[in-house]
Amino acid sequence: MGGALRCRNGVNVDRSSVEALDRVLRGAVEAEDGVPGVVAMATDREGNFYEGAAGERGLGTDAEMTTDTVFAIFSCTKAITGAAVMQLVEEGEIDLSHPAKEYAPEISDIQVLEGFGEDGEPRTRPPKTDVTVEQLMLHTAGFGYDFFNHDLVRYGEKRGVPSVVTATQASLDSALLFDPGERWEYGSNIDWVGKVVEGARGKRLGEVFEERIFGPLGMNSAGFILTDEMRSRRATMHQREDDGPLTPMPDFELPQEPEQHMGGHGLYMPVGDYMKFIRMILNEGEGENGRVLKAETVRAMGQNGLGDMTIKLLPGVIPTLSNDAEFFPGMPKGWSYTFMVNHEDAPTGRPAGELGWAGLANLYYWIDRKNGVGGFWATQILPFADPASFGGYMEFETAVYEAARSAAPAAV
């Protein structure tokens, strides 16, 4: 476990910093009701300066967690879909202000949920305005997730809407919770963005990713579909029970012949591949095999787009899928294309105005453009906001900043 630790200006970090980061990973595994296994990495603009793994890929197996383990990354997919949209904007193929129905006509059929009648039936009406691509990117279009919203649970039960993890069009044919642009609500917006990309490119989202993002970045084990080789390295999903223990779910996989490539949650990859995406953002669009985005586009992707609105706590409505979840409670936070933006300095060391987000199975990342560092923490545990995994991630991010400061006090 662990590896060479190097600061972004080439200064070697001492072995004690490596050991401190290793201890965070081991602590998350060895704690009572800890995580079964974890992979964590940190990068500067040049390359990974820490790669660590601890524990097992699945409880009760002999397979050690290794740095090349493959994870279902869930909502960490969203930023990659956002990059695919911004490539289209650069090329003049789409405009963020345009109605999304120009590229994904099925969105025209979605109604606004106004409430429920005495008989429990949903009351709906057409939205006052069309949903725009920008509203989808900012999560202000009106779409939500049922596991964060009681009304969508009721609506889904009445209308037979399947879970988004089924990767079907029917799972997206839910309801808007409000008129487009009224407020922020985290939900299936980026799945619709994926359909916008497909409509504009005339190809499936996975093909677009492979040609325009994964290839240029050298992300060689990333995709919606698991190859046999990727599956041999896949981490097992685990369910946290109410009393604390974890139950492995070795057969859990996202649909492998999906009707819809879900731009909001569908990708598999090892952490090392995602680090290449993080470095592309740190390097303002430049990847290891060529440029992916223009520098000005990457800067635009990092700007808060909510104005006076702020994002809110995500309430855990379906307990098997999510606990109540919020980064840095009490701190105002915005949203960009398509990352969370913290408006104040975070206690971990992340400066104000920087980027991050997460995936449902307790995966977390951040991108600090100011200091040129970023990191990723990966487990496979449901529900979201698992205290052991999220607490370990917060410790890891903090330890990365401490290690970087010890290497170059003036730099971070």
23 within domain boundaries: no
Residues 68-73 have a mean pLDDT of 98
Among 56, 28, 60, which residue's Cα sits nearest to residue 377? 28
Quick one: pLDDT at residue 16? Answer: 86
For 12-49, write each residue's pLDDT tens digit: 567 888 899 999 999 999 999 999 999 999 999 999 99
User: Who contacts 67 (Cβ-Cβ below 8 Å, separation ≥6)?
Assistant: 3, 39, 41, 51, 52, 53, 270, 271, 272
295 within domain boundaries: no
| Span between the terminal Cα atoms of the chain, in Å | 25
Residues 202-226 have a mean pLDDT of 97
Q: How far is CA 223 from CA 82, 85, 180, 319, in A?
A: 16, 17, 31, 28
Residues 395-409 have a mean pLDDT of 87
Active site residue 337: no
The rounded distance, in Å, linking the Cα atoms of 61 and 249 is 12
**From 75, 171, 174, 188, active-site residue:** 75
321 within domain boundaries: no
179 within domain boundaries: yes
Active site residue 333: no
Q: Are 75 and 378 in contact (CB under 8 A)?
A: no
Question: Amino acid identity, residue 275?
Answer: M
For 166-195, write each residue's pLDDT tens digit: 999 999 999 999 999 999 999 999 999 999
Proportion of the chain above pLDDT 90, given as a percent = 92
144 within domain boundaries: yes
**DSSP state letters, 153-180:** HHHHHHHTPPPGGG--HHHH---BSSST
Residue 159 pLDDT greater than 50, yes or no: yes
Quick one: pLDDT at residue 7? Answer: 42
| Range with the poorest average pLDDT among 241-245, 317-321, 391-395 | 241-245
Among 255, 78, 292, which residue's Cα sits nearest to residue 167? 255
**DSSP state letters, 113-141:** EEEE-TTS-EEEE--SSPPBHHHHHHT-S
**From 78, 195, 276, 333, active-site residue:** 78
Active site residue 171: no
113 within domain boundaries: yes
Residues 340-367 have a mean pLDDT of 98
Among 317, 367, 361, 363, which residue's Cα sits nearest to residue 340? 367
For 229-279, write each residue's pLDDT tens digit: 999 999 999 999 988 999 999 999 999 999 999 999 999 999 999 999 999
100 within domain boundaries: yes
Residue 369 pLDDT greater than 60, yes or no: yes
Residues 124-129 have a mean pLDDT of 98
**From 155, 186, 268, 337, active-site residue:** 186
Residue 409 pLDDT greater than 60, yes or no: no
**Domain span including residue 173:** 87-189
Q: Are 304 and 311 in contact (CB under 8 A)?
A: no
User: Who contacts 160 (Cβ-Cβ below 8 Å, separation ≥6)?
Assistant: 170
Quick one: pLDDT at residue 406? Answer: 80
Residue 412: pLDDT band with limits 50, 70, 90: low
**Which tops the pLDDT comparison, 10 or 372?**
372
Quick one: pLDDT at residue 408? Answer: 62
238 within domain boundaries: no
Cα dihedral 121, 127, 132, 135 sign: negative
Among 62, 20, 56, which residue's Cα sits nearest to residue 35? 56
Rg (CA), the chain: 20
Residues 291-304 have a mean pLDDT of 97
Residue 138: pLDDT band with limits 50, 70, 90: very high
Cα dihedral 403, 404, 408, 410 sign: negative
Residue where the block lists tokens 């970090």: 13
The rounded distance, in Å, linking the Cα atoms of 89 and 103 is 13
The CB density around residue 14, as the number of other CB atoms within 10 Å, is 12
Burial pattern 95-114, b for ≥16 Cβ within 10 A else e, equals ebeebbbbbbeebeebebbe
User: How many C-alpha atoms does 375 have within 13 Å on its Cβ side?
Assistant: 26
Number of folded domains that form the chain = 1
User: Who contacts 2 (Cβ-Cβ below 8 Å, separation ≥6)?
Assistant: 18, 19, 21, 22, 50, 51, 52
